[in-house]
Amino acid sequence: MSASRKEATGEFSEGSFWPIMTAIFFGAFLSVLAISSINVAIPVLMNHFQAELSTVKWTLTGFMLANGIIAPVTGYLVDKLSAKYLYILALVGFTVSCALCAVAWSMEALIVFRLLQGLFSGLILPVTMTIIYQVIPRERQAFASSMWSLSTVLAPALGPTLSGWLIQSLSWQWVFWMNLPFGIAAVVAAWKLLPHYRLSEPKRFDSSGFALVITCSSFLLIAFSEIDQWGWGSWKTVGLLVAGMLLLLAFIWRERNAAEPLLDLSVFSNRRFAMCLVVSSVLGMSLYSGSYLTPVFLQTIQSASAMEAGLVMLPASIAMAVFIPIAGKLYGRVGPARLVLTGLLLMGIGTLAMSRLTVDTPHGYVIGWMIVRNIGVALGIVPVSNAGMEQIARQMTAHASSASNWVRQASASLAIGLFTSLLSTRLMVHVAEKGPQTPDTGTELQAYTMAINDVTLLAALIVFAVLPFLWVLRQRKEPVILPPDQAFVSK
């Protein structure tokens, strides 16, 4: 078989695996780092630009919004430009936008540049996932997926600590400057190490579908992001949710009837892919409870510093980083069903234990159960994602990864709004139950702890609720493989 045919069918030599994964790892790490590193800079940005929190938080909200808007378009862009060139374009745009953020002269300029950064970042994760399932041999896809997930785990584990040190030692601009050498290295690695190939002919751009998906995504993501501020009953929340859902239905109808759809929704006809996406999205929502509520408990209730909270969370992050590649290695031996079942049970038990906190809970308790929980995350989320993607025909993986990231982005934004608003509601309930408080009784701290426990309990119940869906993982069906003579390859 010729070299070009090998690129078309994904039959690469063993020596190609690590160069490809190296090029992918850089980009995925940077994309997630851009999300986690900005959090610790928000108070500094408020002081530097003399801006309110409601304005500064759009450096994060706007980034997430742009991330979600661009995701559905990735499949079309991969067909049009090829995965390699789209990835390089996204990396270049991301690196340039980092430099623009660093030289921002006002809060408005910084928000605009963060939106631009979010657009390019939103292309990186789905296109790197596409490369894995288009060019990595199937028997190594589970391990490749675990290494890809490892990069997205290391970034939020290291990002806040690294950003805090840079802000304290240098300035907030270095939160963005630090991305430049990594971005340049990622571009060079992608150019030299990734193959150039196409598995589908470029299609006509579906402008109507594009307008619908951009509008519905914007409405829904803004509503999810602002629920904690506006409330569920606000006319703005209800109006955006209703309009967003109606536009989403119009987009689905359009794509199912278009001759050349922007996002090929036929990937959802694969029952295993659809169910695995539901499970992974719900688990992602539950995962947010640990990454958000635990630092809130440590810093707000127990008065730990940001550095102390990070150190308490670090062992669990290390445990997850260790077990993610282990899950990838075990996938081929034991299959996804046993791994995911074990992972969900550990995740559910660990989350349930974290719903029994008190004001004086020792850090050892938090560290131990967070380790149990994060090992469950490693054993559960990676296999369930791979179990769905491996069922998709290679030429459709760009659209499948595009749809997958779109749904996960929406569910993550929903989780942020849901858990934040629920935390506020339960706090008021528990404060009212405690009665009049005096400054020396600690009533407010107790009420806050009980509210955190309520939200964490809901997160645990969500994990256990998806257990019945695991039956779909026991069904093994070979994906449709694209014949070599139907692939379009450029040397």
pLDDT tens digits for range 29-59? 888 888 777 776 777 787 888 877 667 777 8
Instruction: Report which residue type is found at 134.
Output: Q
pLDDT of 486 reads 39
Q: Which carries the bigger pLDDT value, residue 491 or residue 162?
A: 162
- The pLDDT-based confidence of 7 (bands split at 50, 70, 90) is very low
- Inform me whether the pLDDT recorded for 6 exceeds 80: no
For 255-278, the pLDDT digits (tens) are 888 877 877 788 888 888 888 888
**Tens digits of per-residue pLDDT, 52-78?**
766 777 787 778 778 878 888 887 888
| CATH class of residue range 1-203 | mainly alpha
pLDDT of residue 436: 58
Instruction: Assign 198 to helix, strand or coil.
Output: strand
What are 121-158's pLDDT values in tens digits? 888 888 888 888 888 877 787 788 888 877 777 777 67
From 77, 393, 116, select the one nearest 206 (Cα to Cα). 77
Indicate the domain borders of the chain: 1-203, 206-261, 268-479
What is the percent of the chain with per-residue pLDDT over 90, rounded to a whole number?
A: 8
Please tell me which residue, 414 or 465, carries the higher pLDDT value. 465
Buried b (16+ CB within 10 A) or exposed e, 208-246: ebbebbbbbbbbbbbbbbbbbebeeeeeebeebbebbee
Indicate the pTM of the whole model. 0.76
What pLDDT does residue 475 have?
55
Separation between Cα atoms, residue 146 and residue 325, nearest integer Å: 5
Which of 363-367, 381-385, 464-468 has the weakest average pLDDT?
Answer: 381-385
Q: How confident is the model at residue 94 (pLDDT cuts 50, 70, 90)?
A: very high
Q: Is the pLDDT of residue 95 over 90?
A: yes
Per-residue pLDDT, 15: 58
pLDDT computed for residue 264 by the predictor: 79
CATH superfamily of 268-479: MFS general substrate transporter like domains (1.20.1250.20)
Say whether pLDDT at 11 is over 60. Answer: no
pLDDT in tens, 156-166: 767 767 777 77
Domains 1-203 and 268-479 in one fold = yes
Average pLDDT of the chain to the nearest whole number: 79
pLDDT of residue 418: 76
Measured over the CA atoms of residue 309, residue 312, residue 316 and residue 322, the dihedral's sign is positive
**Percentage above 70 pLDDT, the chain:** 87
Question: Which residue, chain included where needed, has tokens 């559910």?
Answer: 348
Residue 130 vs residues 127, 194, 256: alpha-carbon distances, Å? 5, 12, 22
Query: Is the pLDDT at 2 greater than 60, yes or no?
Result: no
Question: Looking at residue 59, what is its pLDDT?
Answer: 81
- Which residue intervals of 297-360 are DSSP H helices? 306-353
Please tell me the distance from the alpha carbon of residue 251 to that of residue 209, in angstroms, as a whole number.
Answer: 6
Asked if pLDDT for residue 485 goes beyond 50, the answer is no
SS3 for 222-264, per residue?
HHHHHHHHHCCCCHHHHHHHHHHHHHHHHHHHHHHHCCCCCCC
Mean pLDDT along residues 333-344: 84
- What pLDDT was estimated at residue 170? 82
Q: What is the pLDDT of residue 403?
A: 80
Tell me the range of 277-291, 298-312, 337-351 where mean pLDDT is highest. Answer: 337-351
